[in-house]
Structure 1
Amino acid sequence: MLFWIVLGAVVVLAVVVLAVVAHGVLGAFGRLDRELEAAERDVRPLLERAQATAARAGELGDRPANRS
């Protein structure tokens, strides 16, 4: 009888520990997602400016050289 009580306590403790670990991991993924969204918001203007500059450089490179 004591064996079943101890086994039940161990199982309950294991479930509680797994729940705490799962909560921590899911919370970390949520924080990581928010950080990535914030980083993308910060970098988006720089990326758009770099793409515009690359497009402009491509246009200038396609024109014939102006030689006298």
Structure 2
Amino acid sequence: MLLLVVWIVVVVLSVVVLGALAFGVLGARARLAREVTAFEREVRPLLDQVAATTDRAAPAADER
């Protein structure tokens, strides 16, 4: 009987620990997705400027 109680406690604790790990990993994944979105929003104007500069510089490089 005591062994059954010990196994039940082990299973319950395992489920709680795995649940906490899953919650932490999913939370970190959501935070990372938000960070990537914010970084892309901040960098997009710079990428647009680089593309525009490259487009303006391409004809000048072709003339040489």
Same fold (TM over 0.5): yes
Higher helix share: 2
Cα offset, 1:61, TM superposition: 1.5
Unaligned runs of 5+ in 2: none
Supply the RMSD in Å over aligned alpha carbons.
0.9
Unaligned runs of 5+ in 1: none
The 5-angstrom pairing of residues 1-68 of structure 1 reads: 1-63=1-63
Name the TM-score, length of structure 1 as normaliser: 0.89
Cα offset, 1:59, TM superposition: 1.4
Distance (whole Å) between structure 1 residues aligned to residue 51 and residue 17 of structure 2: 49
Measured against aligned partners, the alpha-carbon deviations of 1:3-60 in whole angstroms (never above 9, x if no partner) come to 0111001100000010001000000000000000000000000001001101111011
Distance (whole Å) between structure 2 residues aligned to residue 50 and residue 61 of structure 1: 16
Cα offset, 1:63, TM superposition: 2.8
Distance (whole Å) between structure 2 residues aligned to residue 57 and residue 7 of structure 1: 71
Q: Percent identity, aligned pairs only?
A: 53
Q: Which has the larger radius of gyration?
A: 1
Structure 1 stretches of 4+ with a deviation exceeding 2 A read none
Distance (whole Å) between structure 1 residues aligned to residue 50 and residue 17 of structure 2: 48
Cα offset, 1:62, TM superposition: 1.7
